[in-house]
Structure 1
Amino acid sequence: MQTAPHHEYELDLVLDKKETLADGVVQLTLRSADGADLPEWEPGAHIDLVLTDDLVRQYSLCGDPAERSVLQVAVLREPAGRGGSAHVHDTLAEGDTVHVRGPRNHFALVAAVRYVFVAGGIGITPILPMLAQAEAAGADWRLVYGGRTRSSMAFRDRLEQAYPGKVTVRPMDEVGLLDLPTILAEPGADVAVYCCGPEPLLAAVEEQCTRWPQGALHLERFAPKAGATDGPMESFEIELSRSGTTLAVPADRSILDVVEASGVQVLSSCQEGTCGTCETAVLDGVPDHRDSLLTDEEQAANDTMMICVSRSCSARLVLDL
């Protein structure tokens, strides 16, 4: 079997601590069994937790990147989810070994003079270390943090105490939806907007930022955006450049399925075009991007694609596999 190379870590870590942060939210603190330093990461990064052989979920790192002895994630119980959060809340216990892949980062903090951070619910997790980085850089920033109730908003007390005057907490049961027209009223060339949260919030922020300079808005999605995977399902060919093998991708199968069936092992996880695990370089041809991760500019470059959901606009694609 051929294996597509990857540049990330695979680690077996020990669940050192599991603690409740808010209603329905637990934080996991993971350590190496031998106390070794863990991989470096930057704000915005996430890791895969391989919970069972067929249950892999992505969670944003929310700790301190300078603290190399641990990796921390916070997990919201999703009653209508696919089983990952229920497994974390109900099955994982302190002392358990957890297989971890990553870190990887498609939500990195760019340099800017000013930042507007908008978080909804558990979407605060990737933003948390960004605030510390922005503060250390001396940038002007503010955070608007919405949630269902105060008691459901993880890290709320910590944020208000650490950054007085810069954090606005807006529980929905007290004040309703976030006032995005006011929060995002003033486009600026030197301002970066970072948002993470449920899809309705992300869609509303996207709509509000249509007047902002291109590239100002940065989003992190937990689920595919509406309509992302829609489009015609037609057959095409792919060439795996490293072996010269040509494979047919029928209308009813993904590139990932076909590649794996040919004996090439590719890391994958979400199967929805949101996590970036299966990102593959495109050497020739025009991808039909159906992911919810790459920016418009990155998709337009056509030099990489998520092979779990994206297809082809051309009759043939050449992939770096």
Structure 2
Amino acid sequence: MTASSFRAATIAVRVARKTVLAEDICGFELVAADGGALPAASAGAHVDVHLGDGLTRPYSLCHDPAETGRYRLGVLREPASRGGSAAMHGRIAEGDILQISPPRNLFALAEPLAAGRHRLLAGGIGITPILAMAHALHRAGADFRLHYTARSAARMAFRDELAAAPWADRISLHLDDGPAEQRLDLAALLADVRPGDHLYVCGPAGLLAATRAAATAAGWAEAQVHVESFTATPVVTDAAAGSFEVELARSGRVITIAAHQTVLQALHAAGCDLPSSCEQGICGTCLTPVLAGIPDHRDQYLEPDEQAANDQFLPCCSRAKTARLVIDL
């Protein structure tokens, strides 16, 4: 078994439309290059976009999940872009053919959709998966409200679309530079929690941390709070755990992973040409089969059951619970 066997085949798509959604935010409409239907995508799903030169980035889908003829993305141009958002904004044009992964969902709505109340909270570009969720909840006849916060109106994507939505009366917009009564009040938003209620939040790290704290203070159970981050928790090394070994099964070579290194760093330093992209455990580019040993999973890519199988891991962030891992390289 090889590392590539764990990765699903890519889908060729054409950029049918590229638009400006807001300040520093571009929208992309993708259709199948062969003119056919695209795989169904549930609300909260994302695709990995392959941008060439080993660059792969995950982007949430923001279209109505009932649609199969197109995917829609909203991409924020990051000031400190490592290549992904800069390429999407500056290099990708209408008519271009891209390779993407099939949709994958790590931020799914809790079933059944019509049960309980759903509170959707988006900050900035975090509106992308939240928008798809609102479409799905409306179709299911669910009780929901959407709260969208941004630094200014100029930075709010999809404003016209939201205003025209059949569920526009369920939307509250919050602006950091607006009047006090329009700013986000987390305590008020999260008050009156009941069993069966669910909270979904996506946005910058500060919003996620503040929302978690406010939800805990308001009595929300951990299982009721669902969080999506576009930036992974920084990869940290664990000096207290010391080093461990990685054996390359094909050559028998053994590489020592120091406490201050990630496995990926050690492999690259040893001359192993393992593809990588985000180096944060989000995109899955460096996914590698594990033949023996138990990984210490620290990624946000694998599903819990996939992590529990311990037959693959993300060397850019994960480590080992055993003294040695044998990997298929």
Q: Please state which band the TM-score falls in when normalised by the shorter chain.
A: 0.7 to 0.9
Distance 1:298 1:204, change over 3 A: farther
User: Which residue among 234, 238, 242 is the counterpart of 1:231?
Assistant: 238
Alignment of 1:143-222 (within 5 A): 143-162=146-165, 163-175=167-179, 178-210=184-216, 211-222=219-230
Distance 1:57 1:284, change over 3 A: same
User: Which residue among 249, 257, 262 is the counterpart of 1:250?
Assistant: 257
- The CA distance in 1 between the partners of 2:154 and 2:237, in whole Å, is 37
Gapped regions of structure 1 (runs ≥ 5): none
Identify the structure with the greater strand proportion: 1
RMSD of aligned alpha carbons: 3.4
User: Which residue among 132, 140, 144 is the counterpart of 2:143?
Assistant: 140
| One-letter amino acid of the structure 2 residue matched with residue 23 of structure 1 | E
SS at match of 1:134: helix
Cα distance per residue 1:119-176 (max 9 Å; x no partner):
0011000111111111122211111100111122111232233213211000111046
- The CA distance in 1 between the partners of 2:253 and 2:220, in whole Å, is 43
- The CA distance in 2 between the partners of 1:294 and 1:38, in whole Å, is 23
Instruction: After TM superposition, give the deviation of residue 206 of structure 1 in Å.
Output: 1.6
| Residue 24 (structure 2) pairs with residue 16 (structure 1) | no
- The CA distance in 1 between the partners of 2:327 and 2:190, in whole Å, is 40
| One-letter amino acid of the structure 2 residue matched with residue 197 of structure 1 | G
SS at match of 1:173: coil
Distance 1:47 1:244, change over 3 A: same
SS at match of 1:215: helix
| One-letter amino acid of the structure 1 residue matched with residue 154 of structure 2 | S
Instruction: After TM superposition, give the deviation of residue 204 of structure 1 in Å.
Output: 1.0
- The CA distance in 2 between the partners of 1:38 and 1:184, in whole Å, is 37
Distance 1:276 1:196, change over 3 A: farther
| Residue 133 (structure 2) pairs with residue 130 (structure 1) | yes
| One-letter amino acid of the structure 2 residue matched with residue 166 of structure 1 | R
Please tell me whether the aligned partners of residues 118 and 198 of structure 2 are also in contact (alpha carbons under 8 angstroms): yes
- The CA distance in 1 between the partners of 2:179 and 2:308, in whole Å, is 42
Cα distance per residue 1:94-118 (max 9 Å; x no partner):
1122222232221111215211111
Residue aligning to 2:69: 69
Alignment of 1:32-47 (within 5 A): 32-47=32-47
Alignment of 1:108-119 (within 5 A): 108-112=108-112, 113=115, 114-119=117-122
How many residues are treated as equivalent by the alignment? 318
Q: TM-score, normalised by structure 1?
A: 0.84
SS at match of 2:178: helix
Gapped regions of structure 2 (runs ≥ 5): none
Instruction: After TM superposition, give the deviation of residue 291 of structure 1 in Å.
Output: 3.3
Residue aligning to 2:316: 308
Overall identity of the aligned pairs, in %: 41
SS at match of 1:26: strand
- The CA distance in 1 between the partners of 2:223 and 2:306, in whole Å, is 13
Please tell me whether the aligned partners of residues 54 and 277 of structure 2 are also in contact (alpha carbons under 8 angstroms): no
Instruction: After TM superposition, give the deviation of residue 284 of structure 1 in Å.
Output: 7.0
* Segment drifting more, 278-287 vs 160-169: 278-287
Q: TM-score, normalised by structure 2?
A: 0.82
Distance 1:147 1:41, change over 3 A: same
| Residue 60 (structure 2) pairs with residue 60 (structure 1) | yes
Residue aligning to 1:80: 80
SS at match of 1:212: coil
- The CA distance in 1 between the partners of 2:323 and 2:4, in whole Å, is 23
